[in-house]
Amino acid sequence: MVDSHCHLDSETFRSDLPAVLDRARSAGVERMICIGSGSDIRSALSSVALAGTESDVYATVGVHPHDVARMTESDWETLEGLARLPRVVGIGETGLDYHYEHSARDAQQAAFRRFVRLARQAGRPVVSHVRDAHADAAEILRAEGASEVGGVIHCFTGGVDDARGYLDFGHYLSFSGILTFKNADHIRAAARFAPADRVLVETDAPYLAPIPYRGQRNEPAFVARTLGLLAEIRGISVADADRITTENACRLFRLGDHPLVPADRTHSG
Ligand SMILES: [Zn+2]
Ligand SMILES: [Zn+2]
């Protein structure tokens, strides 16, 4: 399994990260994409550092849409430098969040456009967070040519029509523990509708733990719950759902092109 979206750099993992990684590995999680986009660029830096020491962890770099209003030019320069590092496999999470609107909409849109351009320059896919903003997000991704590098709408919470808007230009949809929530029928409908070669699974740990862990700290090992439900919804075996979502994540993030062993462990003499 691949946990295509987790925040291992989060403060909540500081004291027991090795145990969290061990539980993920024992549960069959072979690769984790650590999303380096907390409230400032320290998250990108620590995610890149983690990907440099753990052979099954890869990093993305960005700043969450909640916090883009505070970004400086020097933050952008730092991210541009990080974007091309060998273990950095994506740009984000970026996107639009009109639900919380912690940063003004126009600031979110401007930063989202700029992140898509950065992704194209760096040749990395875009990881987007979209909440109550599907029409605007699809429009920006399309206008900025995101299809050139590809991308994923993480923790997809839209319905079939929203899904279609992204699938039309080749984007992937990633499903989280929300898929297990009672009031998520429209999301389950989208998970059934999306083509097999466009679906991913994620935890978004430490947030959004799936049932029966709801309310607890989430961790990559729990991605198995979401995978199990995705299999059930699509009427396929868990093994097939695992194979499909793993292949999709490897294709989208081009994990085959990135060294499996961090650069600092590759020297042999
Ligand atoms: Zn998000
Ligand atoms: Zn996230």
Position of tokens 């961090």? 262
The ligand whose atoms approach the alpha carbon of 203 most closely is 2
| Residue 105 confidence (pLDDT) | 97
Residue 261 is predicted with a pLDDT of 56
Rounded distance from Cα 268 to ligand 1 centre (Å): 39
Q: For all residues of the chain together, what is the average pLDDT?
A: 94
User: Kind and range of the H or E element at 134?
Assistant: helix 134-143
Distance 48 CA to ligand 1 centre (A): 18
Span 128-139, average pLDDT = 98
Model pLDDT, residue 220: 98
What's the rounded mean pLDDT across residues 127-136? 98
Torsion, Cα 208 23 57 39, to 10 degrees, reads 30
**Dist CA 64 CA 129 (whole Å):** 8
Ligand 2 center from residue 239 Cα (angstroms): 26
pLDDT score recorded for residue 212: 86
Rounded mean pLDDT of 160-184?
96
Cα–ligand 1 centroid distance for 172 (angstroms): 15
The CA distances from residue 64 to 31, 195, 249, in Å, are: 22, 28, 21
Which ligand places an atom closest to the C-alpha of 60? 2
Ligand nearest to the CA of 202: 2
Distance of CA 192 from the midpoint of ligand 2 (Å): 23
C-alpha 239 – ligand 1 centre gap (Å)? 27
Band (256; pLDDT cuts 50, 70, 90): confident
Q: What is the pLDDT of residue 41?
A: 94
How far, in Å, is the centroid of ligand 1 from the Cα of 267? 36
Predicted TM-score of the model (pTM):
0.94
Which ligand sits nearest to residue 6's alpha carbon?
Answer: 2
> Residue 269 has what pLDDT?
37
Ligand nearest to the CA of 128: 1
Distance CA 50, CA 265 (A): 13
Q: Please tell me the number of the ligand nearest to residue 9's CA.
A: 2
Helix (H/G/I), strand (E/B), else coil: 21: helix
Distance 35 CA to ligand 2 centre (A): 7
Give the separation between CA 161 and CA 189, rounded to whole angstroms: 10
Q: Smallest Cα–Cα separation from 107: which of 153, 139, 67, 151? A: 67
pLDDT at 213: 86
pLDDT at 260 over 90: no
Quick check: 262 pLDDT over 70? no
**From CA 146, how far away is CA 156, in angstroms rounded?**
17
- pLDDT at 268 > cutoff 50: no
Average pLDDT over residues 157-166: 98
Give 268 Cα–ligand 2 centroid separation in angstroms.
Answer: 36
Handedness of CA 11, 12, 16, 18 (dihedral sign): negative
Q: Which domains does the chain have, with CATH numbers?
A: 2-258 (3.20.20.140)
- Ligand 2 center–CA 166 separation, angstroms: 19
pLDDT tens digit string along 23-38? 999 999 999 999 999 8
* 104 alpha carbon – ligand 2 mean position (Å): 19
pLDDT for res 267: 44
Pairwise CA distance, residues 133 & 130, whole Å:
6
Query: Which pLDDT score is estimated for 259?
Result: 58
Q: Express each pLDDT in 212-241 by its tens digit.
A: 888 899 999 999 999 999 999 999 999 999
pLDDT tens-place string over residues 100-127? 999 999 999 999 999 999 999 999 999 9
- In the block, tokens 């075996």 appear at 237
pLDDT of residue 266: 45
pLDDT tens digits, one per residue of 64-100:
999 999 999 999 999 999 999 999 999 999 999 999 9
Q: Is the pLDDT of residue 154 over 60?
A: yes
